[in-house]
Amino acid sequence: MDKLKEVLYGEIEEFRKEGHKFLNGELNVMQFKHISGGFGVYAHRGGKEFMIRLRIPSGITNVDEMYKVYDFAKRYGLDKIHLTTRQAIQLHGLSIDEVCDLMIEALDNDIYTRGAGGNYPRNVAMSPLSGVDPKEEFDVTPYAKAVGNYFLERIYTYKLPRKLKVAFSNSEYDAAHCTVQDLGFVAVNKDGEKYFKIYLGGGLGQNPRKAVKYYDLIEAKDVLYYVEAMVSLFKAEGNYENRNKARVRYILERMGEKDFLECYKKHIEEVIEKGNLEIQVEDKICNKKGIEVEINNPRIINQKQTGLYSVYLHPIGGQLLANDLKAILDTIKNFEDIEIRLAMTEGVYFRNLNGNEARELLELTENMGATTNLEQSVSCIGVPTCQVGICNSQGMLNSIMDYFKDREYKSDVLPRVYISGCGNSCGVHQIGSIGFTGKKKRVGEKIEECFTMFAGGSFGVGKTNLGNSYGDIPGNKIPEFLYELSKAIEVSDLKFEEYLEEKEESFKEIVNKYAV
C-alpha cells in the first residue's frame, strides 16, 4: 500500500486546483463531476459546498477509526454523518480545501476515498453479520476484504466505462443484494467445503434487471479470478461512448444471456491461464466469553457464538448525530473484541457483545434511532444536497415519521420503506416491499414533487423481485397515504406482503385515492 499512498497523496493537490477552477467557473458541473467522482467527492447543489465519501471496506470499521470520523465531523463543524446504502460514510457541507485537507488526513489514518465514486470499482458490499450469523453458510469477510484490497491497490489505474459493483452474501438471504449487482458471490457450504454461486449483470436504477446465475459453483479460494474476469469483460465489451448504456447489464442485454455467459467464461479461462490469484484465508475465531441474557428487543441479534450478541442502531435516514456517535464510542471503547459493521440499510451493527454489554448499549441508544420497521426506512440524501437529485427524499422521510408520531401511531405493520430522490435508486427502492422514486410532475397548475410508488419488491436468492409501479403520489400526500394504508393492514390482520397479494384491489384503491 505504500506505493498506492504515494500516488494518492500526489493526486490530491492537483485535485484541489481543479476544485478551485470549478469554484471560479472555469469548469462546469459535469466537467467537475467527471474529475471529482473518482476521489469520492461531489459538489452539493449550488456548487459552493462539497461531500466526501469515506470508503469503509465492506462496512468493516472499529472504535479507533470511528473516533477519527467523529474528529473530522467536529473539526469541520458537522453535527452529523451520513451512513450510506453501500456501507460507506459521507460527510456533507465542506469547502473544497476542507475536503482536500480531510482526504490527506484520512490517508494518514488508512481511510481511503479514491474510487468511492466515478467510473471505478465501488466499495465491495457484504452481509454485515457475516461471521456471527447463525444461519450463514460461512464467513465471507476475508473474501470480501481480499477483493476490496485487490481493487484498492490498483484503483488509480482503472479505466472502466462506468462504475462496477461487487458484493458478497453469507447466505441465500442475500443481505448484500448479490442478485441485483454487476457481480455477486453467494456463499455455499457443500460437504464442508466453501464455494460461491456467482450472479452477474444485475443492477438497479434506470432499466433495472436481475442478475443471471453463472453455470457452476466456484471454489471460494478462486474468487479473484472471477472478479478479474469481470473487469476484463467490462473493459472489452462496455460502452465507452454512451454513459447511459455503460453498465454491465447493458452488455448482458445486448448479447443475450447465453452469449454473455460464454463471453464471461472465455475471460475467466484467460485470467486463470495467467494464474497466481488464489486466496488463502484463515477462519477468524472469537474466543470472547459470552454471557447469556433474556432481552426482548428487535434490535438485539443472537450470534452463533454462545452468549454473544449484536446490537443494531438505525439513525433516521442514516443521519447519525456526531454527539451520539461520541457517546457510543465512549461506552464501547473498553468492551473486549468489539466489532463495528455498517449495514446496507443505513444502519450499524455493534458485534461481539456479551449480554451485559448488549443491555448497556441498548439502553444508551434507545432514543438515538429507529425501533419500528417504518422508522428503519431507507432514504438517499436527496435535494437540497444532491447535485442530481430531483426530490427531497430525506425531508419526505422525516415528514412520514412526524405524521405517525403526531398521531401516536405505533403499530408496527408497515414494512421498511425505501426512498430515492431520483431514478438512480440510491435508496434501492426497486427491491423494497414499498419504494418511492422522486420526479417532478404537473399537478393542476403547478409543478410539484411527486414520487412514483413501487410495491412488491424483494431480494434473496430465488426470491428477488423488482417492484411494480402503482402510480405517482405528491410528496406532501405520502405520509397520509402510508397512514391510511397502515390502518387498513392493521384491520386485515395480515402482513404487508400478504395484504398486497390477497387484497391488491383494496391496495390499489388506497393508492388511487392519492395518486395524480
Cα(251)–Cα(268) distance, rounded to whole angstroms?
Answer: 16
460 has pLDDT over 80: yes
481 has pLDDT over 90: yes
Average pLDDT, the chain: 97
- Give 109-143 pLDDT, tens digit per residue: 999 999 999 999 999 999 999 999 999 999 999 99
335 has pLDDT over 80: yes
Cα(475)–Cα(391) distance, rounded to whole angstroms?
Answer: 9
Residues contacting residue 118 through CB under 8 Å, at least 6 positions apart: 34, 36, 37, 38, 39, 163
pLDDT reported for residue 350:
98
pLDDT reported for residue 97:
98
Q: Annotate 221-249 with b (16+ C-beta within 10 A) or e (fewer).
A: bbbbbbbbbbbbbbeebbeeeeeebbbbb
pLDDT reported for residue 474:
98
SS3 call for 249 = helix
Share of the chain above pLDDT 70, in %: 100
315 has pLDDT over 90: yes
452 has pLDDT over 90: yes
282 has pLDDT over 90: no
- Sign of CA pseudo-dihedral 250, 255, 260, 266: negative
pLDDT reported for residue 32:
97
pLDDT reported for residue 334:
94
Question: Around Cβ 510, how many Cβ atoms within 10 Å?
Answer: 18
- Give 418-441 pLDDT, tens digit per residue: 999 999 999 999 999 999 999 999
Cα(451)–Cα(439) distance, rounded to whole angstroms?
Answer: 6
Residues contacting residue 264 through CB under 8 Å, at least 6 positions apart: 200, 214, 229, 230, 233
Cα(155)–Cα(308) distance, rounded to whole angstroms?
Answer: 37
Looking at the DSSP bridge assignments, the partners of residue 349 are 312, 341
CA angle 389, 390, 394 (to 5 degrees): 70
pLDDT reported for residue 241:
96
Query: pLDDT grade, residue 284 (50/70/90)?
Result: confident
Query: pLDDT grade, residue 410 (50/70/90)?
Result: confident
Query: pLDDT grade, residue 455 (50/70/90)?
Result: very high
pLDDT reported for residue 388:
87
For residue 447, report the phi and psi dihedrals to the nearest 5 degrees: -90, 120
pLDDT reported for residue 288:
97
- Give 351-366 pLDDT, tens digit per residue: 999 999 999 999 999 9
2 has pLDDT over 90: no
Contact 297, 55 (CB under 8 A): no
CA angle 8, 10, 13 (to 5 degrees): 110
